[in-house]
Amino acid sequence: MRLFFALVPDEALRLALGERARALAAALGGRAVPAHNVHLTLAFLGEVERARVPALHDILDAMPRDGFALALDCVGEWPRAGVAWIAPRIVPAPLAVLHAALAAALRVQGFAVEARPFHPHITLVRRPSRRLADAPADRLTWRVGRLSLMRTDTAGGAVRYREDAVVTLA
């Protein structure tokens, strides 16, 4: 099973981000991320044996439950990764705390954790054919209210991300 932890926007914000993705793809070329796949990855795990999934559910249950506001107010591109994204210019403290707690819990359970610094973002376009300089974006405010253990479903040849387990952030 291919798994990752993510923050998942509510339906209205997912649809708004899906619209932004389509507009950005029209300007840059590439493939817009569909609204139903919009998320902010906190920790990518990759292939995980089924026997280890209960440990991930335990980690999810033990995470801080503080909700927070996240301003998505900057767009940019990582050419080597082949993505254009939207992100916060300022990472709120509760997001940094949540990410650090998740990384520490994963390490304790023997899961590999990304060594690079955390740069929270939402991928909007894959493989853009034209460059995009980092720039301010029309601000979208997200009241982050849920943390999910996600799985990648490739049934029927299309990639779709599904929530395997969810906790509510208050």
Picking from 40, 35, 65, the residue whose alpha carbon sits closest to that of residue 150 is: 40
Instruction: Look at phi and psi of residue 79 and say left if phi exceeds 0, alpha if psi is from -120 to 50, else beta.
Output: alpha
Q: Is 63 exposed, middle or buried (0-12, 13-18, 19+ CB in 10 A)?
A: middle
Instruction: Select which of 36, 39, 57, 99 is catalytic.
Output: 39
Question: 166 and 43 in contact (C-beta within 8 Å)?
Answer: no
Is 121 part of the annotated catalytic residue set? yes
Instruction: Select which of 57, 99, 119, 121 is catalytic.
Output: 121
The Cα–Cα gap between 156 and 103 comes to: 33
Question: 97 and 118 in contact (C-beta within 8 Å)?
Answer: no
Is 99 part of the annotated catalytic residue set? no
Pairing of strands 135-144, 68-78: antiparallel
- The residues that are catalytic are 39, 121
